[in-house]
Amino acid sequence: MASQYGENIKLTIFGQSHSAGIGMVLEGIPAGQEIDLEALQAFLDRRAPGKNAFSTARKEADEPEFLGGFVGNRTCGAPIAAVIRNTNARPSDYEALKDVPRPGHADFTARVKYGGFEDASGGGHFSGRLTAALVLAGGIVKQLLEKEGIEIISRISSIGGIADEGPLKKPTSDKAFPTVSDEAGKAMQERIAEVKAEGDSVGGVIECKVRHVPAGLGDPIFDGMENRIAKAVFGIPAVKGIEFGDGFEAAERKGSENNDAYGVEAGCVRPVTNHAGGILGGITDGKCIRFSVAVKPTPSIAKPQASVDLTTLEPVTLSVPGRHDPCVVVRAVPAVEAAAALAVYDALLNRKKEL
């Protein structure tokens, strides 16, 4: 089902950009899990808009109200349900767009699919705002993984071709701009400021690692960790590619260069290198899971673009009004972590059934 994810947990995402609210239902979390609601809010805040120069000016508190699933701050076994109110919607911004699809956005495809009955306002159910629900669910599950010693970290590895430097070895979440190299981060921010000034936007790549994940997670064929993570990650609107380990680079190599030899480490057999991104046959091999995600440039730009009025079929030159991120990559970082958390936690529950 379109707005659902998971096998052992089941996440359901609902709401539209300008409906009363957006939210999620997350079923399958065992009872008795204590959730640090402050830490959860901090995780949500990493995604929340309006915080700095490179994100949309739309300000939303993104504070969830829990409708069920908790007794105090402990899960009670019932589905966790939460709503985040849409308080700062400005549907008027979108009035003019009603019949003129924004290039690169889901306006046109939603119109075709729903025959004009879609909620077009603000991107409706396709709005990036829906990732708040993903981040909320992922934030809960991320805390549960942390209790098992599993840590999810990530960074912006490039913006518009400007690459971060050095390997990702610890969280970057304490930084306003999450890169390993602050210098590289500064260059990226300048690039973003540049395109913003042009009324344009820019894309980038996010790298994510799941550390201290035990060997043996994931399942063969269609439920491997790659399939699971990819299915979750492509739930983030602007994602257009994913690669695990060396990914597309591996395709240029020889087997002898790409295979990870085995060695013994603290009495355990482990791959010595990690070209595979910690996954073989869909199953974790004890190294960290490593993947990268391609995020396209924000489609909503002020720069004039060619579109068509769907009612008259007349060409229209469109300059998208409203408050848009010149670079959605920054706010997509916690969403990628959330997607990874959901995938890994779901696989972890699956593993419990085998043991």
Q: Considering only residues 266 through 295, tell me which ones interact with its own copies, judged by CB under 8 A.
A: 267, 269, 271-272, 276-277, 279-286, 294-295
**Does 226 help bind its own copies (rule: CB under 8 A)?**
yes
Q: Are 89 and 21 in contact (CB under 8 A)?
A: no
Which positions from 79 through 98 interact with its own copies, judged by CB under 8 A? 79-81, 83
Instruction: Tell me which stretch binds its own copies (CB under 8 A): 19-27, 40-48, 144-152, 176-184.
Output: 19-27
Question: Per rule CB under 8 A, is residue 55 in the interface with its own copies?
Answer: no
Q: Does 300 bind its own copies (CB under 8 A)?
A: yes
Helix (H, G, I), strand (E, B) or coil at 75: strand
164-193 residues near its own copies, rule: CB under 8 A: none
Which residue in 49, 64, 69, 185 binds its own copies (CB under 8 A)? 69
Give me the amino acid identity at 109.
Answer: T
Q: According to CB under 8 A, which one of 63, 65, 95, 148 is a site residue for its own copies?
A: 65
How long, in residues, is the chain? 355
Residue 5 C-alpha from the chain's centroid: 13
DSSP label at 130? G
Q: Rounded to the nearest whole angstrom, what is the least distance from the CB of residue 38 to its own copies in the complex?
A: 19
Q: Are 241 and 235 in contact (CB under 8 A)?
A: no
Q: Which stretch binds its own copies (CB under 8 A): 41-49, 56-64, 153-161, 167-175?
A: 153-161
Q: In the complex, what is the shortest distance from the CB of residue 123 to its own copies, in angstroms, rounded to a whole number? A: 8
DSSP 127: S
For its own copies, the closer of residues 113 and 175 by Cβ is 113
CA-nearest of 14, 144, 126 to 67 is: 14
- Phi, psi angle pair for 232, to nearest 5°: -75, -45
* Token reading at 233: 């990650």
Q: Quick one: tokens of 146? A: 């942390």
Determine if 63 is a binding residue for its own copies (CB under 8 A): no
Task: Among 37, 45, 305, 321, indicate the residue that binds its own copies (CB under 8 A).
Answer: 305
Phi-psi group of 82: left, alpha or beta (phi > 0 → left; psi -120 to 50 → alpha; rest → beta)? beta
Question: Does the footprint of its own copies cover residue 321 (CB under 8 A)?
Answer: no
CA neighbours within 13 Å on the CB side: how many for 208? Answer: 28
Residue 239 found at the interface with its own copies (CB under 8 A): yes
Return d(Cα 107, Cα 294) in angstroms, integer: 21
The residue (of 174 and 254) whose beta carbon lies closer to its own copies is: 254
Asked if residue 75 binds its own copies (CB under 8 A), the reply is yes
